[in-house]
Amino acid sequence: MWSSSAIRTRNVHLLKVSGALTNAVFFCSFNPTDKATEATMSPMLTPRIPGLESIQPGGSDTSPPTLLIRVYGPSTGTLIERDEELRVLHTLSADYGLGPRIEGTFFNGRVEQFFPSHALTPKHLRDPETSLLIARRMRELHSVDLDALGFEDRTEPTVWQRIREWVPLATKAAGLLEGIPDGDEWLKKFGLDRLGDELEKYIQWVNAQDGKGKARVFCRAYHRCNVLGPQY
């Protein structure tokens, strides 16, 4: 429906979503009027609009669905493998019904299915029924076949691989702080030079534990970074 030649620029309403860390995220909704919309209007402007025969083939009164547009942040491609991310997200959606459909891509972003929703509050999270639903979905995510996602050759948690790759890059970047006000103090406090050794000691400790709870499963790890792949 969004590809209809009857849709004009005034029919497209964009609302920027706050809270995104690495990307700029927008809701894209259909505006059926000739009047321009305001930036603060709801992303669900017109769930059903009567009389859209000029827009919809067959005279349907259903408007084009709201979409989510994600524009990648500058230089995030150095931290996130976008091709792998798209492949994994597509597999999760198409084969397992987890997450939004990927409707399309462009040079520095993608278009996704939009889920009408609201953020959960601490009160919601303490609700037993809500917590149970979250746990079930997390169980489904962690039960995804790693081979089906293309991770059959991964022998250790992906986040460990990422840290090993990023430590040299971070160390090089941190060198720019040397000699500037508070730069040396920040480097000493952050302890970047110790991170590699601490990681290897932690890996040795994990491997020395018994096998209980050490199964590799798929998950998305957020440790000030975005890592897709097998984790413990």
Tokens coding 1: 């429906």
Q: How far is CA 191 from the centre of its chain?
A: 29
pLDDT tens figures, 92-123: 898 888 889 999 999 889 999 988 777 788 99
User: CB–CB of 171/193 below 8 Å?
Assistant: yes
pLDDT tens figures, 55-99: 444 445 567 888 999 998 877 766 677 888 888 888 889 888 888
Reduced to 3 states, what is the DSSP secondary structure of residue 29? strand
Rounded to the nearest integer, the mean pLDDT of the chain is: 78
- The closest of 163, 168, 160, 157 to 231, measured between CA atoms, is 157
By the 10 Å C-beta count (0-12 exposed, 13-18 middle, 19+ buried), 156 is classed as: middle
3-state helix, strand and coil shares in percent for the chain, rounded to the nearest 5: 40, 20, 45
**Domains of the chain, earliest start first:** 9-113 (3.30.200), 154-231 (no CATH)
pLDDT tens figures, 25-56: 988 888 777 676 666 665 454 444 444 444 44
Q: What pTM, to 2 d.p., does this model score?
A: 0.69
**CA count, 13 A, side-chain hemisphere, 182:** 1
- The closest of 49, 41, 70, 44 to 7, measured between CA atoms, is 49
**CA count, 13 A, side-chain hemisphere, 127:** 9
In DSSP notation, 54-119 reads TTSGGG--BPPPPEEEEEEPTTGGGTS-HHHHHHHHHHHHHHH--S--EEEEETTEEEEE-----P
